[in-house]
Chains A and B, each alone.
Chain A
Amino acid sequence: MPDEQAQLDTFPRLLAANAERLRERPAVREKDLGIWQTWTWGEVAVEVRTLACGLAALGFRRGDTLAIIGDNRPRLYWAMAAAQALGGVPVPLYQDAVANEMVYVFDDAEAQFAIVEDQEQVDKLIEILPRCPRLKHIVYDDPRGMRHYTQPQLLGYDELAERGRAFDAAHPDYYPGEVAKGQASDIGIMLYTSGTTGKPKGVCQMHSAFIISAQGGSGFDQLGPEDSILSYLPMAWVGDHLFSYAQWLVAGFTINCPESGDTMMTDLREIGPTYYFAPPRIFENLLTTVMIRMEDASAIKRALFHYFAGVARRCGAEIMDRKPAAFVDRLLYALGNVLIYGPLRNVLGMSRIRVAYTAGAAIGPDLFRFYRSIGVNLKQLYGSTETCAYVCLQPDGAVRFDTVGAPAPGVEVKIADNGEVLVRGPMLLKEYYKRPDATAESIDADGYFRTGDAGFFDDAGQLKIIDRAKDVGKLATGAMFAPNYIENKLKFFPHIKEAVAFGNGRDQVCALINIDMGSVGNWAERRAIPYSGYTDLAAKSEVYELIRECVEKVNSELAQEDALADSQVHRYLILHKELDADDDELTRTRKVRRGFVAEKYAVLIEALYSDQTECHIETQVKFEDGRTGIVRADVGIREARVFSPEQLKKAG
């Protein structure tokens, strides 16, 4: 029915349709006081209407922006729908951002309204109030600790809902009228880029962009009201907005909000989602937890686990892809499924998963294969804030660890002469907010968006991403230098949490390394190596040896790739502190700010390119409470063996 389809072109209309079609089906769950509470689609529609009327009573009008800050709470998702229903623009912010970082977004987005989770966020907004004079209303969800606040801007959610009901009773036609005024081409959401370089930019997405992306994705993986997903990723991230909001409304499935960030694992098990999305680091953490606990298991269990992990490695991925496999292997795999894989999927909360996606960073081949081999249909996708996280998807049966899939339905992808990936389609951003210069720069005359990623299509027509185009440089020898590629290879080792490679314009590649405190800490404890904290552990010579093995393995792999043989890491050091978003070294999505790090640790980098074996450094650090302190350390510098292709051939 084209008529009906045509009507469902904004999110508020989708919500109204779901409230009709799926009235009694669960839309949202949240765990409260240890018990999962459910709201049906019918109830959600009422909540959103009440909230929208409350905002309208406060003076929220078409075109206004509503800042949303907090963990994934049902009421915050409703706030998005409420703002959209009034023709406004929700702007989710990263909940762990410090007050100063928020000033920029509030200022840029000209937000007069904010709806936040709790006292923690309120405190930040009160701190920045003098610098954000436009901000007039702050609504908080959780009243705990708020009793003695007297700022006139503050209002509790329940009070707002009260006003909303009164407003709705007085103006019953207001809400439906505003929903009817909405256009598919209205700006539905503004998501700020993480700002790997420079200030964050507000990406304006139309209702139609996210709806088409969500429809494409839902059709691709046959998502429907039966599905359920755990919503735990930051609401300000495009991935969460696509999976927990756009697809939620389009496919009509259930979103589940965990109790808190720390309970994610337990909640995952209890909910058993059928559809799951996580950046690689989450899959990595899950696996690390399992491996550590496996080491503590009894000898029989350990032996069983390792035996069947071997079976899965050999044939699991083939069986998942329905490719031919030996009969004996199939039998063993079936047995392993009963004894190991099934229980393991259950522990991971992945028993019911039909489709799982990862994106946002490169995923280690071993990690990727592991999940697929135990029967979790993990796939990769590719996209960005500017493209609604919807550019490429891996189809079932054609999943490869080193590609990000084929272009999604309705998306055109081409490779520019310089290797940059260009995309075009309905999912593209309308503009960067108040930045016509940036908009013009990123979209070319033919309407193609420059992703800034360098990549190419492989033989099977799947896109392979190498690195950020602007990061790809040249060594002094003239060979290509793709730092991300090297860093990802290093980070695939569980002991290495973060790595930053340098080499552009230099004669060789050197690297700064962050060890993974959990993994290396556990390793050290098993070997009775005492340590007092990160700085101490990072300086241990045993740890340097451990990391050297990792670096040399990477070097031997790089040596086999003609174009990258010169990119082997000659010298490395282990940083004395963890790179941290609070110190501006990482973005809030935990990507390294390469330029900033290079500047901050210039002393260390110079030492890497000299023949020093040690370098003293003092670094200012910000603690979580906002105070600052100094970390001093003598950082050791070590050399790693590099390989020539001939050597590898000889070694066989």
Chain B
Amino acid sequence: MVQARNIGDVILKIDNISLAFGGVKALSEVSFDVREHEIRAIIGPNGAGKSSMLNVINGVYHPQHGSVTFKGITREQMRPHEAAKQGIARTFQNIALFKGMTVLDNIMTGRNLRMHRGFLAQAIWYGPALKEEIEHRRHVEQIIDFLQIESIRKTPVGRLPYGLQKRVELARALAAEPVMLLLDEPMAGMNVEEKQDMCRFILDVNDEFGTTIVLIEHDMGVVMDLSDRVVVLDYGRKIGDGTPDEVRDNQAVIDAYLGVQH
């Protein structure tokens, strides 16, 4: 009934990444790739290095070895703002919004990189700066419409329930018009209905905007339904990689999740 999406070439290539904090090896020789328009899941038990992996991709952590190739440009180190400029946006495992600000203002911050007028002009709010602000506001309103959060537009984020805050965080990430979206446990702590909504939104974002999505998620049902391919990490190593079905049947993955006697 629903046609298959067109998955393109490799847009992100993770090559032999190793990351250590002092003596703790967070990631060891991990390699995988992400293709354009696909939904790629990273799964693994707690402490497997999933969030570290996302942090490497958007430049928060700098790996000791290996390289990250994004849109054909290879680099060993990348700063977060460079990643953002190249079109990588993300959400966080522990919501990182401005609690005292309204939903609208929070999402507007996501447009920050695309605002070109000086802060003085923006402060006076006159002429080109005003025109620019209106253009950004229009874009933000489209996202508000897309994620169906019209009713909380003017509500301070701190007053919202958790599930909605997650949605606002997604909205802010989308405001940057990302090429690639990194989602760190977008459905943690949600009830079934909220999870369904979030799944629908992730699929819609992927479908309508063609955004490539890399997500970390613990709910296996969600992962298997949403993703095109799955990477499995355990103790900082890649132990599986493939379609949801392949990963499900992989003995190493089953052992990592269910535990085996050593």
Q: Which residues of A contact B (CB under 8 A)?
A: 32-35, 126, 144-145, 147-151, 259-260, 262-263, 266, 623-625
Contacts and interface: CB of A to CB of B under 8 A. Distances in A.
Contact of A34 (B2, B144, B192, B207): B144
A260 B149 CA distance: 9
Contacts of A266: 151, 154
B150 A625 contact: no
Given A34-B141, A625-B192, A625-B193, A260 B150 contact: yes
Contacts of A33: 138, 141-142, 144-145
A147 B193 contact: no
Q: A-B pairs with the 5 shortest C-beta distances? A: A262-B151, A33-B141, A263-B151, A148-B2, A259-B150
B1 interface: yes
A34 B153 contact: yes
A518 to B, nearest CB: 14
Contacts of B146: 144
B208 interface: yes
Interface of B: 1-3, 137-138, 141-142, 144-146, 148, 150-151, 153-154, 192-193, 196, 204, 207-208
Given A149-B1, A262-B151, A624 B193 contact: yes
A260 B193 contact: no
Contact of B150 (A148, A263, A623, A624): A263
Contacts of B192: 623, 625
Contacts of B208: 144-145, 147
A219 B196 CA distance: 49
B196 A144 contact: no
Q: Is the interface of B mostly helix, strand, loop or mixed?
A: helix
A147 B141 contact: no
A150 B204 contact: no
Given A260-B148, A260-B151, A623-B192, A144 B2 contact: no
A398 B196 CA distance: 51
Contacts of A262: 150-151
Contact of B1 (A35, A150, A260, A625): A150
B261 to A, nearest CB: 36
Q: Is the interface of A mostly helix, strand, loop or mixed?
A: loop
Nearest to B153: A34
A266 B151 CA distance: 8
A496 to B, nearest CB: 25
Given A33-B145, A35-B141, 14 more contacts: A33-B138, A144-B204, A144-B208, A145-B208, A147-B207, A148-B3, A149-B2, A260-B150, A260-B151, A266-B151, A266-B154, A623-B192, A625-B193, A625-B196
Contacts of B141: 33-35
11 contacts: A34-B137, A34-B150, A35-B141, A144-B208, A147-B207, A148-B2, A259-B150, A259-B151, A262-B151, A266-B154, A625-B196
A35 B150 CA distance: 11
A198 B99 CA distance: 51
A10 B183 CA distance: 56
A148 B154 CA distance: 34
Nearest to B204: A145
Nearest to A264: B151
A147 B3 CA distance: 9
Contacts of B196: 625
A145 B203 CA distance: 9
A534 B207 CA distance: 37
A150 B193 contact: no
B86 to A, nearest CB: 27
Contacts of A32: 145
A624 B141 CA distance: 27
A145 B137 CA distance: 23
Nearest to B146: A144
A260 B204 CA distance: 19
B81 to A, nearest CB: 29
Contact of A623 (B137, B154, B193): B193
A126 to B, nearest CB: 8
Nearest to A31: B150
Contacts of B144: 33-34
B152 to A, nearest CB: 8
Contacts of B2: 148-149
A147 B1 CA distance: 11
Contacts of A623: 192-193
A145 B2 CA distance: 10
Contacts of A147: 207-208
A268 to B, nearest CB: 12
A390 to B, nearest CB: 33
Nearest to A624: B193
Nearest to B138: A33
A522 to B, nearest CB: 15
Contacts of A150: 1, 3
Contacts of A625: 192-193, 196
